[in-house]
């Protein structure tokens, strides 16, 4: 991130002149970046979310390029829009950085942001650049989306529903573990997914139309995020481990069986979608991994695997390392 041309040798206009031409605009914009604020046509209910990543906490330069971080922070935000059943419209970007950060890192980062936004058909609505104390680099994204129907909440799961996932489980965490162990070559797809997670964004609105009763994206691990649906809905979610065998098998060769299972159950940063649907039908692209039942007398809302409570270690920002 350092080396090259430090930001301190440029003024803000110079930096913006390098970044702005890279970023996609949109016809949804009544007033484009350059004025004091953007004006957006949504024509529907608006979904809003924000997410921030910090150098040293959320990424290491040894493992992720500026472009990787651009891809990742956009995906994290757009996955949250999808998880509500919304379609993304645009993003607002903030970069707060040590003036020693290189222009080359920023331009690489802007390419990552732009590529991911373009792939999702999302406009960059505006942004902000600010300086920070030595060593600090922070990227914050705010995403807006439109919601044609009702929002899909975490609290709507009903006894008798099926639990389903769209996308992979455990790959991003497996990639992180391999990077930490210096064994990235053991599973290059997992490492690539840790650097640039993928979320099935168009499946969020599709699930909403198909009658999903609850939904979220798997950002902190299947057990932790599934437990959030259980508690918000006041139900017990039963995961059937046989449904996870292909996910575990895909990682076991690189990590061993135990760590592979831990990645699948507890791995964060995956951004696949997890939802509950009424029994009987699932939209194409979704697979059933369990079911929802009412809590027995005195039983708390919770998530079980093959009938057992499983200790989980999913990512928690404030857990001491």
CB < 8 Å & 24+ apart, contacts of 100-103: 100/2, 100/6, 100/7, 100/8, 100/134, 101/1, 101/2, 101/6, 101/7, 101/137, 102/1, 102/2, 102/3, 102/4, 102/5, 102/6, 102/7, 103/4, 103/5, 103/6, 103/7, 103/10, 103/15, 103/18
CA 155 to chain centre: 20
Give the binding range for Mg ion (CB under 5 A) out of 109-117, 218-226, 235-243, 253-261. 218-226
Q: Please tell me whether 49 is known to bind a ligand.
A: yes
Q: Please tell me whether 219 is known to bind a ligand.
A: yes
Nearer to Mg ion, 18 or 228 (CB): 228
Tell me if 233 contacts Mg ion by CB under 5 A. Answer: no
Shortest approach of Mg ion to residue 250 CB, angstroms? 23
- 251 φ/ψ angles, rounded to the nearest 5 degrees: -110, -20
What does the alpha-carbon distance between residue 259 and residue 174 come to, in Å, rounded to a whole number?
8
Q: Please tell me whether 14 is known to bind a ligand.
A: no
> Considering only residues 59-98, where is the footprint of Mg ion by CB under 5 A?
80
Nearer to Mg ion, 84 or 252 (CB): 84
Nearer to Mg ion, 238 or 270 (CB): 270
Single residue of 75, 219, 233, 272 touching Mg ion by CB under 5 A: 219
Q: Please tell me whether 128 is known to bind a ligand.
A: yes
Shortest approach of Mg ion to residue 243 CB, angstroms? 22
Per-residue CA distances from 318 to 147, 175, 248, 266, 321 (Å):
32, 22, 28, 16, 9
Give the binding range for Mg ion (CB under 5 A) out of 113-121, 171-179, 211-219, 237-245. 211-219
Q: Please tell me whether 50 is known to bind a ligand.
A: yes
Q: By rule CB under 5 A, what count of residues binds Mg ion?
A: 3
Helices (H), 84-128: 103-120
Shortest approach of Mg ion to residue 190 CB, angstroms? 21
What does the alpha-carbon distance between residue 221 and residue 243 come to, in Å, rounded to a whole number?
16
- The one-character DSSP state at 14 is H
Tell me if 217 contacts Mg ion by CB under 5 A. Answer: yes
Shortest approach of Mg ion to residue 76 CB, angstroms? 8
Shortest approach of Mg ion to residue 220 CB, angstroms? 8
What is the contact surface with Mg ion in residues (CB under 5 A)?
A: 80, 217, 219
* Residues of the binding site for substrate: 58, 269, 315
* Residues of the binding site: 36, 49-51, 58, 80, 127-128, 154, 217, 219-220, 269, 315
């Amino acid at each position: 991130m350092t080396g090259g041309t430090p930001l301190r040798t440029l003024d803000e206009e110079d930096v913006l002149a390098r970044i702005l031409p890279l970023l996609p605009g949109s016809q949804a914009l009544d007033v484009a970046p350059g004025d004091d604020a953007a004006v957006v046509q949504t024509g529907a209910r608006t979904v809003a979310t924000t997410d921030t990543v910090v150098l040293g906490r959320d990424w290491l330069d040894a493992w992720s390029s500026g472009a990787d971080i651009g891809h990742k922070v956009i995906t994290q935000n757009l996955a949250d829009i999808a998880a509500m059943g919304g379609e993304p419209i645009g993003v607002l970007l903030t970069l707060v950085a040590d003036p020693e950060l290189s222009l080359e890192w920023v331009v690489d980062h802007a390419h990552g942001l732009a590529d991911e936004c373009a792939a999702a058909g999302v406009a960059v609505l505006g942004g902000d650049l600010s300086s920070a104390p030595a060593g600090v680099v922070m990227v914050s994204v705010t995403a807006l989306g439109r919601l044609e129907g009702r929002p899909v909440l975490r609290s709507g799961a009903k006894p008798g529903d099926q639990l389903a996932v769209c996308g992979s489980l455990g790959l991003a965490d497996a990639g992180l573990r391999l990077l930490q162990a210096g064994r990235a070559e053991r599973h290059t797809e997992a490492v690539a997914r840790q650097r640039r997670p993928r979320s099935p964004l168009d499946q969020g609105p599709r699930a909403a139309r198909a009658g999903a009763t609850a939904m979220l994206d798997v950002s902190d691990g299947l057990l932790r995020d599934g437990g959030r649906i259980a508690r918000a809905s006041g139900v017990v979610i039963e995961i059937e481990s046989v449904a996870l065998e292909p996910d575990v098998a895909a990682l076991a060769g690189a990590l061993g069986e135990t760590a592979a299972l831990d990645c699948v159950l507890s791995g964060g940063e995956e951004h696949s979608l997890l939802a509950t649907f009424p029994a009987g039908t699932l939209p194409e692209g979704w697979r059933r991994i369990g079911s929802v039942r009412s809590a027995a007398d005195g039983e708390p809302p919770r998530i079980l695997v093959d009938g057992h409570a499983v200790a989980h270690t999913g990512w928690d920002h404030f857990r001491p390392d």
